[in-house]
Structure 1
Amino acid sequence: MSTDVDVAVVGAGIAGLTAAHELRKAGREVHVLEAGNRVGGRMATVRRDGFLIDSGAEQVSGRGYDATWAVLADLGIGAAELPRIGRRIGVWRDGRVRPGLVHPLGLLTGAGLSVRARLDLGDVLRGRHDFDRPEAFGTATVAEFAARYHPDVLDYLCRPVVSGFFGWDPEKSSAGPFLGLLSAIGPSSAWRTYRDGMDTMARALADRLDVSLSFRADEVIGGTRSARIYSGSTEIRARSVVLAVPAPVVRQVYVNPPAHETPFLEASTYVPMVKVHLMLDRRPAAGVYLVVLPAVASRTVSTIVFDHLKHPDRAPRGRGLVTLVAHPSVAARLLDTSDAEVADLLATAAEEFVPGLRSAVVRAVVHRFRDGLPEATPGAVALRAHFAARAGGVVEYAGDWVGVMPCSEAAVRSGRRAAARVLAVSRKEHV
């Protein structure tokens, strides 16, 4: 069976949906093809027994997320739908949580840092780095950047944050994207969450678009004026294609990428992410909504999120919802481990930090992302600018990996840019 379409967007994550939205606004006919049975990708929410479980992204920022807020305005979604979380995050040190991480108050309270390290933290927070040009900082790794400061800056700030939020190894991933994101979003007091779940934006976009679920793109072959997409016996011919999937998936399905694009595609690696969401019969005591664990405290769990404190409606009244993120050192091997084993391993490790957690568990839900977040290796960062400056073509790309920036705002920006590039190519064809 063959089908002709104007623009095909492969992937219904937030990047693909944004690209499709922008193209549709410009008058193009767009068909979104999604291999899974839902939209949202890593920005999705599972609703079960009265719980709202954010399977991937946990929060957005009230500042630095200009593209996200612009799309939300298009959709008629205002700030009331994204209340401030209003609680601090903390780091575990010496047997207790130290609040104030990634917040100016941390300079006063310590946030787990020594006095000398607090002075260094002020220098880090005052830095101005370009979200859209992470290569401007150079290719120094997070560990190399932190080495200029007191050891606490690496051990109790940089390492736990990049491990817990991005799944990175600080010795392998570049500091530029990390610093660019910190500089853009500012203190954690600006962080918000969607009242009705992190998939709110994705659902609103999908409602306005032509989306085909459970459609797996097996091969994409680019031509000079069009491209072909194959899924089993189905062939789709498209005037333009946007590949809005992780770079490793692009390398699997895109048969003939241009030679000048392949170095960046090959350098754009991902790290896995594994999360277990524990539905509880009570709400454990906590003074912060999120705790990052330094490697000296745990190499099994990197982050603990008290979702019922992030927003009270994440769990039914009187019940709790706690999310545990696997440490990068164990995430890869947990990809093929049973749900029961993953839940038991992470809950047992977290018991030290949340006493009584295991006895409160009613049910556990496990989410695995083999392609969790872009790794931002020095090689990818060094190649990003050249890739971004390339001439447009029949096949474009969208995703946070395009900007080497592991966050939903980068995905939204990439979707808007991919749409702009598709439209620019079309205008040139009609000149």
Structure 2
Amino acid sequence: MRVVVAGAGLAGLTAAVELVQAGAEVTVLEARGRVGGRMHGVRLDDGLVVDGGAAYLGIRHTELLRLVRECGLEVVSTPMSGDSTFLLSGRTTTTASRVPPLDAVALGDLFDKLEELVGQVRPDAPWLSPNAEPRDRLTVAQWLAEHLGHPDARTFFPLFLGEMMAADPSAISVLHMAFYLNSGGGIRYLNAFEGGAQQWRIDGGAHRLCEVLADRLGDRVRLGQPVSRIEQNVDGIVVQDGAGSRHHADEVVVAMPPLLAQRIDFRPGLRTPRATPATGRGCAVKVHLGYPAPIWREHGLSGWSVSTNGPLLSTVDDSPPDDSAGVLTGFVTGAAASAFSALSATGQRDAVLAHVGRLFPRLPRPTKYAVTDWLSDPHSMGCYAALFGPGDWLSLGPTLTEPHGHVHFAGTETSMEYFGLMEGAIRSGRRVAAELIRGDAAIPTSEEALAR
């Protein structure tokens, strides 16, 4: 069996390795000059690489933890010792809690409403959930206006949504929000460091996992070769890359974000789209600030912060485990990410440094600085994951994992478990590999049907 895998992110590489182990002849085509997709190591200093993309994992991410062990890698804890910092409406405060100093009753009411929504969605098929249609037509911003009256709840909610999903409330449906939070293990798990989804990082950077998988595949991985066309006929499949090279296959795995998969010229054409005009980019920019050491700890601070005004809506301590350097990672998400991405490099740097000066006035100026802008990345079109807008789950959900003839789809956005996370990417890659190894019947394209 000849298989072409389009995309050398975690899903594509996972599928490719398992197919090779089963005896398939595999070629992996990747548009970038590197592997990893939305897992990207950024060199902040000599010997210091930080996670520009996906970074965190927890105890429930069983397939990811197993793969980390198989690849000979280690996990390290995300440090959270010390007080949190909050910059709310221009006022900076510190507290031992991660809960911002806002009205506790209003925040409690917010989370009660969210828990109720999350509990009503079907994680295996959200489009079949009770009230799926009205909830998929309603944006989260509209839901917010109808259900949250207290100003503190309205202030906090976009910050929470940005941290969890890198989304602006106006860009996603209520059904998508509820499904995402359910799929990831629930609100409490997703939001937690110790015992939660942000408990650990992969030592040396999450991208190392993809590099190990790519090393196993060797010259089967071909970089700088974006897939532009996939043509199926009774004689097989021809995959054409951006340079005009043609690759012959019996089966194809498309392991790309939906917006990129939609750009491929499928012949015959797709019966149902991979994305719609409502499908959005994950709105995330990561900013890394380097210091000689995690100096904030000397002042009793954890490095964790939340701000109502950007650009850094939150920060976290991502220093290496030996404390040989200090690393603050800032997250610019939602509408703030779009505004930040539009600034010049100088404008971005000035805004970040001014903000950090307000958050942590006792810290010196950082010695290192890096920005990873996923919104402007043409080979990802956003991060953490694609955002399903109004109507998307009703139109896209039933066919997310359905093959198009001999073309199969992987990627974290096709996983009903841990959608948007590294765990979801691995599970999707293993699902597709298992389908091909078992020889599950392909769904005929219109051209195959005519050939009969």
Distance in structure 1 (CA, Å) of the matches to 2:151 and 2:24? 52
Residue 252 of structure 1: CA displacement? 2.1
Q: 1:271 is paired with a residue of what secondary structure?
A: coil
Distance in structure 1 (CA, Å) of the matches to 2:358 and 2:311? 12
- Where structure 1 has 5 or more consecutive residues not aligned to the other structure, the ranges are 102-109
Summarize deviations over 1:246-294 as a string: whole Å, max 9, x none. Answer: 222222233436443216455543134322222223434253343332x
How do residues 29-428 of structure 1 correspond to structure 2 at under 5 angstroms?
29-47=25-43, 48-63=45-60, 65-75=61-71, 77=73, 81-85=74-78, 87=80, 92=86, 93=88, 94-98=91-95, 100-101=97-98, 110-117=99-106, 119-120=108-109, 123=112, 124=114, 128=119, 131-135=123-127, 136=129, 138=132, 139=136, 140-143=138-141, 148=147, 151=150, 154-155=153-154, 157-174=156-173, 175-180=177-182, 181-183=184-186, 185=189, 187-190=192-195, 191-209=199-217, 210-224=220-234, 225-256=236-267, 258-262=269-273, 264=275, 267-285=278-296, 287-293=301-307, 297-308=308-319, 311-313=320-322, 317=324, 319-332=325-338, 334-335=340-341, 337-356=343-362, 359-370=364-375, 371-373=381-383, 374-388=386-400, 390-391=402-403, 393-403=405-415, 405-425=419-439
Report the counterpart of residue 18 of structure 1 in structure 2: 14
Q: CA separation of 1:403/1:141 partners in 2, compared to 1, >3 Å: closer, same or farther? A: farther
State TM-score, norm by structure 2: 0.77
Distance in structure 1 (CA, Å) of the matches to 2:51 and 2:345? 17
Distance in structure 1 (CA, Å) of the matches to 2:238 and 2:96? 52
Distance in structure 2 (CA, Å) of the matches to 1:215 and 1:125? 44
Distance in structure 1 (CA, Å) of the matches to 2:215 and 2:357? 41
Distance in structure 2 (CA, Å) of the matches to 1:257 and 1:408? 31
Distance in structure 2 (CA, Å) of the matches to 1:112 and 1:222? 58
Residue 118 of structure 1: CA displacement? 5.1
- Where structure 2 has 5 or more consecutive residues not aligned to the other structure, the ranges are 376-380, 444-452
Residue 99 of structure 1: CA displacement? 5.4
Distance in structure 1 (CA, Å) of the matches to 2:124 and 2:11? 16
1:397 and 1:418 in contact (8 A); partners too: yes
Residue 117 of structure 1: CA displacement? 3.2
Residue 125 of structure 1: CA displacement? 5.6
Q: CA separation of 1:264/1:330 partners in 2, compared to 1, >3 Å: closer, same or farther? A: closer
1:290 and 1:304 in contact (8 A); partners too: yes
Distance in structure 1 (CA, Å) of the matches to 2:271 and 2:225? 29
Q: 2:216 is paired with a residue of what secondary structure?
A: coil
2:289 and 2:327 in contact (8 A); partners too: yes
Q: How many residues align?
A: 404
Q: 1:188 is paired with a residue of what secondary structure?
A: coil
Distance in structure 2 (CA, Å) of the matches to 1:265 and 1:130? 22
2:406 and 2:442 in contact (8 A); partners too: no
Question: What is the identity percentage for the equivalent residue pairs of Structure 1 and Structure 2?
Answer: 25
1:392 and 1:421 in contact (8 A); partners too: no
Q: CA separation of 1:115/1:273 partners in 2, compared to 1, >3 Å: closer, same or farther? A: closer
Q: 1:15 is paired with a residue of what secondary structure?
A: helix
Residue 113 of structure 1: CA displacement? 4.2
Distance in structure 2 (CA, Å) of the matches to 1:153 and 1:421? 48
Residue 389 of structure 1: CA displacement? 6.0
